[in-house]
Chain A
Amino acid sequence: MADLSMISLRERDETITSRISGWWRSSRSRLTPYIFIAPNLLLFSVFVFFPLLYAAYISVHQWSLIDTPEFVGAQNYTRLLTDGQFWQSLKNTVVFSAATVPTSLILGLMLAIGLNRHMAARTLLRSIYFLPVVVSSVATAIIAAWLFNDNYGVINAVLKQVGVGRVAWLSTPQWALPSIILTTLWVRSGFCMVVYLAALQSISPSYYEAAVIDGASRPQQFRYVTWPLLRPTTFLLLILNVIYSFQVFDLIYVMTGGGPGFSTTMIVQYIYRAAFANSEMGYASAMGMVLFVLVLLFTVIQWRINRRTEQFV
């Protein structure tokens, strides 16, 4: 009896094993991609998806971080409609994005084209332009704040040498935002340059040879060969730069603290203030959700436009 029961158990185990291996053989090709992306998905869930859900939950509560959240419904969202400072910070963010995104793309492309040619000290120049990207953004902001310092900054010292009076770069509303835009361009054009440079180097020389045989001039080569082939890169950079501009924080936090007045207060700066200066985590989360929706909408629109344009091309 004992032998018989052992045999039946072994048979059962073998059946299970063969079923599992059969299932795995038939599903392997379907499941393998998920296994590869699982670590990333796990990190994404822990650090992005669940915090996003939690932010949505907090956005309908009143919470000072150190007490118990209290449900307030849509109150935080309706408050946004009448909060002038929120709209001012949104306007500042749009102005900042409009000034930095296209300009850094154009500067990056110009630098990439220039440094894609054979010239002396090419590697050194590429490194110099790329350096602000690899340096910590807080360190960059501190350097920029020293350069623009009203009282002992290098820029004012140079201006003094050429007879121009002291400019209160970071202390007056008319100059503070341009100073921050200039610093941003200094950092971001280097990043765009490197990405464009990689894209330029991946274009096969045979396209240019064909264009030359067809009698295309330099501008025509750029217009009909380079630019269309750079389109995916431009699209990627556009999306990344818009997201960066909408989420800019550290540079402004260090250089101006959002002042003078509200002249350099961007939306993330305002969210930070609501959360940690005013202890209004619910209101800050509501603004964060609005920012999320705005960036998502912009990305989707851009993606659709790009897809339609690619179809035409």
Chain B
Amino acid sequence: MTRTFDRRTILKTGLGVSAGLAVSGRVSRGLAQSPVKLTMAVWGGKAELDAYNQVITKYQAVHPNVSIRLDVLPSGQFYQQIDTKLAGRQAPDLFRATYQQVGRYAMSKAAVDLSQYIDPNYGAAFTPAVWSAVTYQGKPYALPHHTDTFALFYNADLLDKAGVAVPTSLDQAWTWDQFTKVARLLKEKSIGSYPFAMGWSANAVHRWMIFLYQHGGRLLSEDLKSPQGGSPALVETIAWTQSWFKDGLVPPSTSLKTAEPTQNLFANGTIPMMLNGNWQIPFVDQQAKFKWGVTYLPRDVAMADDMGGTCMAVSRDSKNPDIAADFLKFLVNEENMREYVSSAQFLPVRTSLVGSGLRFPLRSDEMKVFIEQTKTIPEHLVGTVIMPTWGKFASKLTDELDLAFTSGQSPEQTAKNIEAHVKGILLSA
């Protein structure tokens, strides 16, 4: 029997095939056929940029029709440039962001909801803290790439000279009192120009929150919907950090607004101790001409550390969001994440890599200290700093703490002002 097709059937079939091709083409168009150009905006040092380029080269080898240009922007003006490009509808296809910024981009839909490009269980492969950081109203707006955290760098030669032994395990970490005593001892013995410095940097006042949580305080209530209010922990934490400046334990130039790169001061021997992140290891390793190591952050009633690190988002201006999302998944897959964090000295965010005994090319023992410190990051702190309104809190917190550190504003007044700002921002939000 011979089957014949009339014109209507052929037309219906043709339309069906076209529609099918259009849907499937949405995903495979660029991957298989026409040339596609993507731009990825990042900031970073040489090790990070080399690591990004390595992943790009690998991806382009598999997808020869896709070319990805790395747009390196200065870290200080990074968000200003991204926001301006978004306002002009000319944002790069992909952009790097700290976890603290994701909420802002998600709320304004400047970043693309990635749930359409990933499996429903995709997030289970990442540590819960970072996955919650990239999620807004139940949908992921970025994919976690790596994390970093803080610990205490020390000049072993100078500490030996002062007869100071550093803690060798997390449970032996110095208390605030012990840490202050060590700092005062170094000052008395005139070892270094100042005993230590904290590595604040632009837009990173959230690092001060480490101390607030160590002292049992917080800015917001348990549900993050109202100010904590009335807690003596806030005043006491401000007073403790203010005493670093008042008592000459840190260089005056290392406050929040006039933040001088503390890694320079550490590497040239001006300060024997520095509170800073794991990404400083390559710099210190290259510049310091003395024996140095890393030990645990001081603690008070609790241990606490900061959740740093960055993720990557697809911008709403991308003409090829499907391909950008595909590259993004490639960037954060297990193999590429392992290579990136190993070569750039960061910490992984895939659960399969966290406890896998990653090998780092530089200072593996010191990196273990940072990995251990990640266990002390409070969940509530993460919830606070990833709120879309965090940028506004951060700006006011910077102002008030800088006034306390450099201009003699009392801890009580500073706490009062911070609480008023928090209340105002929550109300306006």
Contact = CB atoms under 8 A, between A and B. Distances in A.
A65 B83 contact: yes
Interface string A267-293: 000000100111100000000000000
B84 A65 contact: yes
B265 interface: yes
Interface string B252-265: 11011111100001
Contact of B258 (A85, A170, A273, A278): A170
- Bin the interface of chain B by size: 35 or more
Given A65-B84, A151-B260, A276-B80, A261 B402 contact: yes
B410 to A, nearest CB: 13
Nearest to B111: A66
A178 interface: no
Nearest to A174: B407
Interface stretch (B102-110, B182-190, B276-284): B102-110
A66 B270 contact: no
Interface string A223-261: 000000000000000000000000000000000111111
B395 interface: yes
A97 interface: no
Contacts of B253: 149-151, 168, 170-171
B345 to A, nearest CB: 26
Contacts of A260: 252, 255, 257-258, 402, 405-407
A303 interface: no
A150 B252 contact: yes
Interface centre among B83, B110, B251, B253 (most CB of A within 10 A): B253
B289 interface: no
A10 B402 CA distance: 82
Nearest to A260: B406
B87 A65 contact: yes
A276 B83 contact: yes
Helix, strand, loop or mixed for chain B's interface?
A: helix
Contact of B391 (A258, A262, A278): A278
B76 to A, nearest CB: 9
B268 A152 contact: yes
Interface centre among B80, B107, B270 (most CB of A within 10 A): B80
A135 to B, nearest CB: 20
A282 to B, nearest CB: 13
Contact of B108 (A66, A150, A151, A278): A66
A66 B395 contact: no
A15 interface: no
- Bin the interface of chain A by size: 20 to 34
Helix, strand, loop or mixed for chain A's interface?
A: loop
Nearest to B109: A67
Contacts of A263: 407
Contacts of B392: 278-279
A262 B403 contact: yes
Contacts of B406: 171-173, 259-261
A64 interface: yes
Contact of A171 (B105, B252, B270, B403): B252
B193 A151 contact: yes
Contact of B86 (A66, A259, A261): A66
16 contacts: A66-B108, A149-B253, A171-B252, A172-B406, A257-B202, A257-B257, A259-B257, A261-B402, A261-B406, A261-B407, A276-B80, A276-B83, A278-B391, A278-B392, A279-B83, A279-B104
Given A149-B253, A256-B258, 6 more contacts: A66-B108, A67-B107, A171-B406, A260-B258, A261-B399, A262-B403
